[in-house]
Amino acid sequence: MESVKVLFVSQEITPYLSENEMSHIGRYLPQGIQETGKEIRTFMPRYGNINERRNQLHEVIRLSGMNLIIDDTDHPLIIKVASIQAARMQVYFIDNEDYFQRKATMQDEKGNFFGDNDERMIFFARGVLETVRKLRWSPDLVHCHGWFTSLVPLYLKKAYREDPLFADSKVVFSYYNNGFDKPMDKRLQEKAVLNGVSRDDLAVIKDPTYENLVKLSLQYSDAAIQGSDDLPANIVDIIKESGKLSLDYKDPEKYIEEYSVFYENILNP
């Protein structure tokens, strides 16, 4: 019997970025799930503040070279990879000079949210799915972590729904207390349109607030996880009102086992 395949799409992973609740789970959950006998792949953005030499990132030439068009502009997709030896796992990085060279993640040194975070988010989501296609790897479950991955469920279920690699893939989304205050670029709905994805599919983010991005990601996910104990009440309410299969916050000592059982419930409802 083939192993269950789980694709992890993470906004942050330690040790590549400083440790916090999400980056810790991004690092240790894939390892824990792999140790249960499942096959994994893990992706994150290659932010400019990641030290490539210290972390031994290198470009995967056979996966790089594609151009992704966003807002009528070509952006080359560069794929890099690094290994976490202690976990016997690899991490794939989505890179691009326009979007991921600055020495920060989501905001500048003054705390200002980058004005192109919407396009960076689009590029990351599309880059992950195109790279998985190139790997010819068919995930049974896609687990997204953090708002930066919010377009992955939509693209998977709409733009890639005819692709046999993703035809049966389920999506679970983990929500953390890491939102943003000001809306994204007002043209996000227009920029995110893709073959198979219309403006109507993106209607909920006509006003691109954090709360509406949560609603969009949840709309196209099969299940949700409360990743933070202090998740804002409005986000908890959105999850509960959606009627989607959901998992409450789990203790850091037990979450891997709980998530593994939850995966089975998603894949075998």
**Per-residue b/e over 233-269, b at no fewer than 16 CB within 10 Å?**
eebbebbeebeebbbebbeeeebbeebbebbeebeee
pLDDT digit string, tens, across residues 153-185: 999 999 999 999 999 999 999 999 999 999 999
Range 5-267: architecture per CATH? 3-Layer(aba) Sandwich (3.40)
Would you kindly state where each structural domain of the chain is located, as residue ranges? 5-267
* Residue 1: pLDDT band with limits 50, 70, 90: low
Average pLDDT (5-25) is 96
Give the pLDDT band (50/70/90) at residue 208.
very high
In this predicted model, what pLDDT tens digit does every residue of 239-264 receive, in sequence order? Answer: 999 999 999 999 988 999 999 999 99
Report the percentage of the chain scoring pLDDT > 90.
91
Q: Determine the average pLDDT of the residues in 67-73.
A: 93
Starting at the edge strand that comes first in sequence, how are the strands of the sheet with 223-226 ordered?
A: 58-59, 78-84, 89-95, 39-45, 5-10, 141-145, 170-175, 223-226, 245-247
Query: What's the whole-number average pLDDT of the chain?
Result: 95
Residue holding tokens 């099969």? Answer: 222
